[in-house]
Structure 1
């Protein structure tokens, strides 16, 4: 079975003391995080940053070194089955403005509860839940 690897960022910003997560609306109808293919010789982290910047024009991202999760799923391209692995990092930005690439039709910054409901795929919901729990635990430890 062929394999493909991508990387992305669960991007958030804080507004009035509350975290808001960025979701992108893809032309096929689903809402998900910025992500894309890792290029030959590129690290997962650099690919995630590059893809996020290409898709949103947000380049000022502070990645959290303690968070890295991956999802795996199988999809078909014609008659070929492909194992897709997507590595996600967690990043914070102060930027609110998003300038979408041609790959997306809309975006939303949403508080966790609404972002969770709007995220289309179950594996993306699970990653978002892990990110939120991680940030809650991190903030409770620093108090």
Structure 2
């Protein structure tokens, strides 16, 4: 049996000459911190699901983001003994007036520079993903 598939965005913004990443704290389970992501609906593409889940979980719209489709990473891990695959793309918040509005799935959010984001990321593969995306962001200019 195939495992669960999810997708989302690692969203960054340029703020006062700093690069900050958006992490959301779940309101369930161990209340870990993660970029916005969620499971695909039947027949939905990974990228379409990433936009939908980001809007549902953070209130950020497709128009608020610039997605770097060439900067994508796939994480594979187990949740409660079952396989899960998560597709992440890098996205830049390009609308400075956009506000994060959490769904009931999350209780808090933070914009964090890479060093702080690494402290909030509970899992090794998430820390590696953040570092890979940070390298990409720094290469943009």
Aligned twin of 2:85:
85
User: CA shift at 1:137, angstroms?
Assistant: 2.3
Matches within 5 A, 1:72-111: 72-76=76-80, 81-93=81-93, 94-95=95-96, 97-111=99-113
Aligned twin of 2:114:
112
- 2:126 is aligned with 1:124: yes
Q: What number of residue pairs does the alignment pair up? A: 135
Q: Which has the larger radius of gyration?
A: 1
User: CA shift at 1:122, angstroms?
Assistant: 1.4
- Once the two structures are overlaid, the 10-residue window that deviates more, 117-126 or 101-110, is 117-126
User: CA shift at 1:65, angstroms?
Assistant: 2.1
**TM-score (normalised: structure 1):** 0.88
- For the aligned residue pairs, the C-alpha RMSD in angstroms reads 1.3
User: CA shift at 1:116, angstroms?
Assistant: 1.2
Aligned twin of 1:12:
12
Q: Deviations over 1:98-122 (max 9, x none)?
A: 1100000100001111111111221
